[in-house]
Structure 1
């Protein structure tokens, strides 16, 4: 049995890198600070997803006993706990920031070819080589197989050759102006701290890794509720690539701990420049204010409330299939469809298709191919939201119950049926809570627009999408090219717009995250961290043969001509 790793590039065990040396057999990770593992006497334990499915209460009780020290790892029953991560104290958190600060100057001095092109290519190769192992880690942490593959697919697109070429095109533009070499380039902000979400932390951590390409250093907080995937991908995939490039140890640091004290430590530190924050819109907007007051750049990834538009000539079969993405992960993904705006001519056909396809979305063991639902241990908000919709006049199309993993309706079930409600009329639709705000449950409202001429409906649909206070992703299903062009030209809300395509699928070069309004805060836009954590700098280089006075009036003299008269065409 191998011991826990001590350096980022150390060789790893065939089955699980970082297996504990205490005989427990647990996949174990310490904090990674300045290229070294930092031990701790406190641990966060990860419950096996199947054990949670069989007996959630006992599994969570066992986790609490381990973390409080009332039970030792050697006393563990087999298979119920699959990993543990060191819980960092304040000193370790501050050491991570200091290490990042020391590394920034040296890492930024690496040529762009090295820290963007080569780093990205090596990372893509390692992600490909480790794809199966990464999926296995995600399964252990409770992500269904299909969604684990989805996350890995997104990571591969993020570092694909096409995406790297796009990043490169935005980082540096060079030209000549007479004897001068002119460049517009993006420069790193410095130390970037990342607080990923608990629902998809591994893919969010990899998104943050792109900030390294700009020359920043990075500190990542692995969330206590799901730390294993973050620790795995940063220890075993990213850190070895940085080591191969010769990057300083503090370029990447990862610690696990409670969010509030860690965020406060980052805000208080004069060494931190940017903080990338995932969370609810309410908390995120407050955090944005704290960042600005502390002189930090806030990069927010908050709630989404995505709209899907279905026009009368859409391929309804495909549209309904894409809409079932609303139920993936039991609706607890920020970038899924959250509401559907439908042309009145096709409402009945679409809702019938959607109900049929929703019945095939089910829960169960994460290792089963067709499982897409995840457990919802606290479901009272789902039923309150559903009751609000029905009491507001919405019609229940399908779902509405708690279920067991075999689909049997049971008030004690830890899964929720995929649920569709029909809201008739745009007027007043946002009075329904499930339309107004992100639900974060498998509850999808379909909004049937009032009958009107198509020209009127087009404008009403655009206005409805653009008036959404959130703005992550939007998508449109339509056949008429003129209708498509109308939507593409006029929908300005959101960080991504997709037409006749999967709402959550990833594409090279396009953003995976980012948005406007309550999704991205005051500075919200499509989130490319390599761009968001850097700033524009213009550079002019002359060989010294230009007189300063000539440079001051160069454009004026060119306009007037050498003899002082107006040049032709001026």
Structure 2
């Protein structure tokens, strides 16, 4: 893999520097070593990228569907041939552990394999007409060009989650990764699909900063869809700009998932699942369990076991296979977490476990005596911090779970499966899992949130629907009779 290319823009099938005079420095969040320096893209580069995607899309239209499938499958083969190198990039650029890297790469391969089926699923319909001698044809066609904006937490997967299905559905794509993950969420993906054989310019990657381009990426007249994964605040802004310019926004935003443990749950298993649901990748996952709701009958037992489990989690160098918790992505994130913990304690929360915060290294913190009106219960805790809240009845647990502006994921643990399912139906969330973790994403299952956790659904048929449109062409085999 040619790493020097991964430090440049990928526009029109060419690797080059951006036209801005400003630079972006990509650092390792664990040791602050400089990974790469980018000459960032400016508004002119954004236009070049969209123009290239639009032009290449017309060439992509001419490629046989089976050839398109083969090209996408080539991307999986390339990843498999370079898996160790990609894992190393994830560890270095994101502070992801070796476990996280393997998990993310697996998700990426499955998503591309699913997207590779899309060229063969561009099915239409012939429908009857109210008029004699006429038929109605529905053609599924690509939307055109898709703009993708990805986050820093799982950037390899969350970029590919939109990029691969968009390509598979016949679109051109321009990808803008987060400034903290320009390689893993951006140029690495450009390299993979370049090697896979997509036409030059079909996929473009622009590494830039919002201070440089403002809203130009969203406002540009070419893209028909803007797919954004990130915070609710930014997503709201992007959604409004997109709608203003008559583009479809796909928004996968923040979460405040509740992990509910009923009195008949397997406590040992619930402790393990709740730990994984909060502390995987330092808790920097939108589906992470922010609030653990525990029935009072088992509260003391659960808290004791959970404290022991969390206290044993190793924090440190993410390249060490024994490390469970690495650094958070940047200094801003660490300061935000420190302030949220302090505010929670000020409002009455009690630290059952209170880890140290040293630079970007944030050790686990578990807060008890938490009530729903506290900031730590209402805000997304995007780090290794979690709240435990007791409840007495199912109704109370549902009310607490729903007392948030978010609605992304959740989990319910119980020995009575159907009881859990019926309870799950009452939690206002796009996804919820019985006797499992809150962190789930599968390539053929609808993924998305309710309330302020997003708009739209991705994966499988839902991604195919989102990245295509239906065109009605009617055919009159005779002649219509007119009233005048």
TM range (shorter): 0.7 to 0.9
- 2:145 alignment partner, one of 171, 180, 191: 191
The residue that corresponds to 2:2 in the other structure is 17
3-state SS in 2 of match to 1:440: coil
Relative to structure 1, the CA distance from residue 46 to residue 413 in structure 2 (aligned partners, 3 Å threshold; closer, same or farther) is closer
Q: Quote the RMSD (CA, aligned, Å).
A: 3.1
Q: Are the aligned partners of 1:402 and 1:413 in contact in 2 as well (CA < 8 Å)? A: no
After TM superposition, the structure 1 = structure 2 runs for residues 330-349 of structure 1, keeping only pairs within 5 Å, are: 330-349=282-301
3-state SS in 2 of match to 1:374: coil
Q: Are the aligned partners of 2:314 and 2:323 in contact in 1 as well (CA < 8 Å)? A: yes
The residue that corresponds to 1:143 in the other structure is 96
Instruction: Quote the offset at 1:111 in angstroms.
Output: 4.8
The residue that corresponds to 1:532 in the other structure is 466
Cα distance in 1 for partners of 2:88, 2:135 equals: 50
Relative to structure 1, the CA distance from residue 111 to residue 307 in structure 2 (aligned partners, 3 Å threshold; closer, same or farther) is farther
Relative to structure 1, the CA distance from residue 192 to residue 490 in structure 2 (aligned partners, 3 Å threshold; closer, same or farther) is same
Relative to structure 1, the CA distance from residue 501 to residue 471 in structure 2 (aligned partners, 3 Å threshold; closer, same or farther) is same
Cα distance in 2 for partners of 1:92, 1:277 equals: 20
Relative to structure 1, the CA distance from residue 461 to residue 275 in structure 2 (aligned partners, 3 Å threshold; closer, same or farther) is same
Q: Are the aligned partners of 1:186 and 1:214 in contact in 2 as well (CA < 8 Å)? A: no
- 2:378 alignment partner, one of 425, 436, 442: 436
Instruction: Quote the offset at 1:315 in angstroms.
Output: 2.0
Cα distance in 2 for partners of 1:458, 1:148 equals: 37
| Structure 2: runs of 5 or more not aligned | none
3-state SS in 2 of match to 1:321: helix
Q: What TM-score does the superposition give when structure 2 sets the normalisation length?
A: 0.86
Q: Tell me which moved more, 290-299 or 368-377.
A: 368-377
Instruction: Quote the offset at 1:183 in angstroms.
Output: 6.3
Cα distance in 2 for partners of 1:309, 1:169 equals: 41
- 1:235 alignment partner, one of 175, 190, 200: 190
3-state SS in 2 of match to 1:44: strand
Relative to structure 1, the CA distance from residue 474 to residue 48 in structure 2 (aligned partners, 3 Å threshold; closer, same or farther) is closer
Question: Are 1:225 and 2:180 an aligned pair?
Answer: yes
- 2:437 alignment partner, one of 480, 502, 509: 502
Question: Are 1:475 and 2:408 an aligned pair?
Answer: no
Instruction: Quote the offset at 1:470 in angstroms.
Output: 0.8
The residue that corresponds to 1:76 in the other structure is none
| Structure 1: runs of 5 or more not aligned | 1-15, 20-26, 54-58, 60-79, 404-411, 452-456, 550-570
The residue that corresponds to 1:47 in the other structure is 27
Question: Are 1:89 and 2:46 an aligned pair?
Answer: no
- 2:254 alignment partner, one of 276, 297, 303: 303
Cα distance in 1 for partners of 2:73, 2:429 equals: 33
Q: Are the aligned partners of 1:185 and 1:537 in contact in 2 as well (CA < 8 Å)? A: yes
- 2:347 alignment partner, one of 364, 385, 392: 392
Relative to structure 1, the CA distance from residue 420 to residue 271 in structure 2 (aligned partners, 3 Å threshold; closer, same or farther) is same
Q: Are the aligned partners of 1:402 and 1:414 in contact in 2 as well (CA < 8 Å)? A: no
Cα distance in 1 for partners of 2:213, 2:226 equals: 11
Relative to structure 1, the CA distance from residue 28 to residue 547 in structure 2 (aligned partners, 3 Å threshold; closer, same or farther) is closer
Relative to structure 1, the CA distance from residue 253 to residue 28 in structure 2 (aligned partners, 3 Å threshold; closer, same or farther) is closer
The residue that corresponds to 2:365 in the other structure is 419
Relative to structure 1, the CA distance from residue 241 to residue 312 in structure 2 (aligned partners, 3 Å threshold; closer, same or farther) is same
- 1:201 alignment partner, one of 138, 149, 155: 155
Q: Are the aligned partners of 1:211 and 1:531 in contact in 2 as well (CA < 8 Å)? A: no
The residue that corresponds to 1:127 in the other structure is 79
Question: Are 1:448 and 2:404 an aligned pair?
Answer: no
Instruction: Quote the offset at 1:535 in angstroms.
Output: 2.6
3-state SS in 1 of match to 2:308: helix
The residue that corresponds to 1:253 in the other structure is 204
Relative to structure 1, the CA distance from residue 231 to residue 277 in structure 2 (aligned partners, 3 Å threshold; closer, same or farther) is closer
Cα distance in 2 for partners of 1:381, 1:279 equals: 16
Relative to structure 1, the CA distance from residue 201 to residue 482 in structure 2 (aligned partners, 3 Å threshold; closer, same or farther) is closer
Instruction: Quote the offset at 1:43 in angstroms.
Output: 4.6
Q: Are the aligned partners of 1:420 and 1:444 in contact in 2 as well (CA < 8 Å)? A: yes
Relative to structure 1, the CA distance from residue 107 to residue 443 in structure 2 (aligned partners, 3 Å threshold; closer, same or farther) is same
Deviations, residues 392-419 of structure 1 (Å, cap 9, x unaligned): 3333221x2315xxxxxxxx45422211
Deviations, residues 108-162 of structure 1 (Å, cap 9, x unaligned): 34455444x434433333322322221122122132212111211211222345x
The residue that corresponds to 2:306 in the other structure is 354
The residue that corresponds to 2:15 in the other structure is 37
Relative to structure 1, the CA distance from residue 157 to residue 421 in structure 2 (aligned partners, 3 Å threshold; closer, same or farther) is same
3-state SS in 2 of match to 1:470: coil
Deviations, residues 332-368 of structure 1 (Å, cap 9, x unaligned): 2222111122222221222222111112222211211
Instruction: Quote the offset at 1:95 in angstroms.
Output: 0.5
Larger Rg: 1
Relative to structure 1, the CA distance from residue 180 to residue 493 in structure 2 (aligned partners, 3 Å threshold; closer, same or farther) is farther
Relative to structure 1, the CA distance from residue 227 to residue 105 in structure 2 (aligned partners, 3 Å threshold; closer, same or farther) is same
Instruction: Quote the offset at 1:184 in angstroms.
Output: 5.2
3-state SS in 1 of match to 2:148: strand
Instruction: Quote the offset at 1:99 in angstroms.
Output: 0.7
Cα distance in 1 for partners of 2:38, 2:463 equals: 26
Q: What TM-score does the superposition give when structure 1 sets the normalisation length?
A: 0.74
Relative to structure 1, the CA distance from residue 391 to residue 42 in structure 2 (aligned partners, 3 Å threshold; closer, same or farther) is closer
Cα distance in 1 for partners of 2:214, 2:464 equals: 21
Instruction: Quote the offset at 1:329 in angstroms.
Output: 2.8
Relative to structure 1, the CA distance from residue 381 to residue 82 in structure 2 (aligned partners, 3 Å threshold; closer, same or farther) is closer
Deviations, residues 288-308 of structure 1 (Å, cap 9, x unaligned): 222211222222222111121
Instruction: Quote the offset at 1:38 in angstroms.
Output: 2.5
